[in-house]
Amino acid sequence: MNPLRSGLPLRSVLYVPGDKPRAIEKARTLRPDAVILDLEDAVAPEHKAQAREHVRDALNTPWAVPVLIRVNGAGTPWEQDDHHLARNAGAAGIVLPKVENPHALHDLGPDLPIWAMIETPQGVLNAPHIAALPGVTALLVGANDLARALRTRPHPDRTPLLHALSSVVLAARAHGKTPLDAVYNDIRNPDGFQRECQQGRTLGFTGKTVIHPDQIHAANTAFGVSAAEAGAARELIGAWEQARREGKSVATHRGALVEQMHVDEAQEVLALWGVTEG
């Protein structure tokens, strides 16, 4: 299942360590829009081989949501085995860490969608070229590595990263790909997580990668559509349709001018509402 071509939303994407079979089984009972079984940063070197076997076993049973595999990066001892697993175990796609230029993706082939992680300064600068590749269907921000590489200081509003975050969104949107926001590390701070979700949506991200089950609902809510938003979209479309029946090219709704672009946006809101609430 290709989660980007099937019309499914991607409000929340849950990382699950590949060497934690109990966590993998628990993930089946949760409600993220997609799951990433992680063979990279979340797994110690001595556990890599065992993690691959756990991931292989997990993919032997169908999931209710798309499941991707985050492989280890180019040049690591585990790279080839990870890629072989992803291509043969039924994963929905490959999450590729620390992508810095499009050349790193040329030899991967078109058989599985690639979610490219942008987590270095070079990756941010080359994000438009990475997003332009046909096999890439999403860009994911890796803010922890990016902040370290940029030598920034922690900031509750992510001010030092705003340029990079917007650059990733711009690159993804320019090429019709999905931008996914970075993880939020402090699982004990739900208010901070909610604020960061709202910021991510404001910046233009489609959804957020998450690391804890308690973050899923908040991400789904922040990047989803409320009943009030769906109702407002229906009203706007209704005002537009009434104006068109009267032979008008534009409409006025709640004191604001309504053009075709606003109608298109309202239809997108209702489409997301339909697949998440219908």
Query: What is the block-wise mean pLDDT of the chain (278 residues), using blocks of 10 residues?
Result: 60 97 96 96 95 97 95 93 93 95 78 94 98 95 97 95 98 97 96 97 98 97 94 95 91 91 94 80
* Rounded Cα gap, residues 100 and 123, in angstroms: 4
pLDDT at 2: 44
At the topology level, CATH places domain 12-222 in: TIM Barrel (3.20.20)
Residue 4: its pLDDT value, please? 43
For residue 10, the model assigns a pLDDT of 96
How far, in Å, are 64, 90, 100, 156, 212 from residue 153 at the CA level? 39, 40, 23, 10, 24
The verdict on pTM exceeding 0.85 is yes
In this predicted structure, what is the pLDDT of residue 3?
45
Those residues whose C-beta lies under 8 Å from the C-beta of residue 9, and which sit 6 or more positions away, are: 33, 206, 207, 223, 224, 272, 275, 276
Of 225, 115, 130, give the one whose Cα is nearest residue 175: 130
Q: Where are the domains of the chain?
A: 12-222, 227-277
